[in-house]
Chains A and B, each alone.
Chain A
Amino acid sequence: TQLLEQSPQFLSIQEGENLTVYCNSSSVFSSLQWYRQEPGEGPVLLVTVVTGGEVKKLKRLTFQFGDARKDSSLHITAAQPGDTGLYLCAGVSTTGNQFYFGTGTSLTVIP
């Protein structure tokens, strides 16, 4: 059982398009992390958002933490084929030592 639901589960878009991935939970987390995973590798941390309503930008990626710290979104502008991968959100417990992963969003960017 996973505490965080991501949508969409699969996404296939053309290069240059924009997209948003959503991560939702009924639980409150102290912070939320986003990871990207490529085939045959473990997830790699992209960003951590801590404060409700916080927005962080990483080049063409924009991450937002919901005001109630239960949900988050990842927006990618002008997607590139190199953005292809599995995107995972993870809620962090109040102790900072427990990480609960979302159901995942598999993104394919077609050149």
Chain B
Amino acid sequence: GAGVSQTPSNKVTEKGKYVELRCDPISGHTALYWYRQSLGQGPEFLIYFQGTGAADDSGLPNDRFFAVRPEGSVSTLKIQRTERGDSAVYLCASSPPTDRGLSSGNTIYFGEGSWLTVV
């Protein structure tokens, strides 16, 4: 697709339920990121994939959160036993492979986010 696509765009779920959020990155992008953002705050890092593997999952808040990217493209963020504090916008971003020294940083492209509300 032309951009990063996230589904659903909005999800309301009851406390204790299981939720899956999907991210379809830009074609050819090898890196994929999940962030969580509260209203008016900066995105909080959750997990970063390089290809199929999680290169850094240090941002996942606890073991109720898990993410997969089995074929190195689409990723799913899974939240078990949801709590009201999980309510936030979950942002996905992707970036292309880098082929040179990375001191300038790559460019990441964000989706519009999935708004999760736990009631």
Contact = CB atoms under 8 A, between A and B. Distances in A.
Interface stretch (A14-22, A41-49, A70-78): A41-49
A101 B104 contact: no
Chain B at the A interface: mostly helix, strand, loop or mixed?
loop
Interface string A51-70: 00000000000000000000
B33 A99 contact: yes
A24 B95 CA distance: 25
B35 A101 contact: yes
Contacts of A96: 98, 101-106
Interface residues of B, number: 31
Contact of B104 (A50, A97, A98): A50
Interface in B77-109: 91, 93, 95, 98, 101-109
Contacts, number: 83
A33 B110 CA distance: 14
Contact of A88 (B4, B42, B95): B42
Interface in A69-98: 86, 88, 92, 94-98
A95 B102 contact: yes
B108 A99 contact: yes
Contacts of B119: none
Interface of A: 2, 4, 6, 9-10, 30-31, 33, 40-45, 48, 50, 86, 88, 92, 94-104, 106
Interface of B: 4, 31, 33, 35, 40-45, 48, 50, 55-56, 91, 93, 95, 98, 101-113
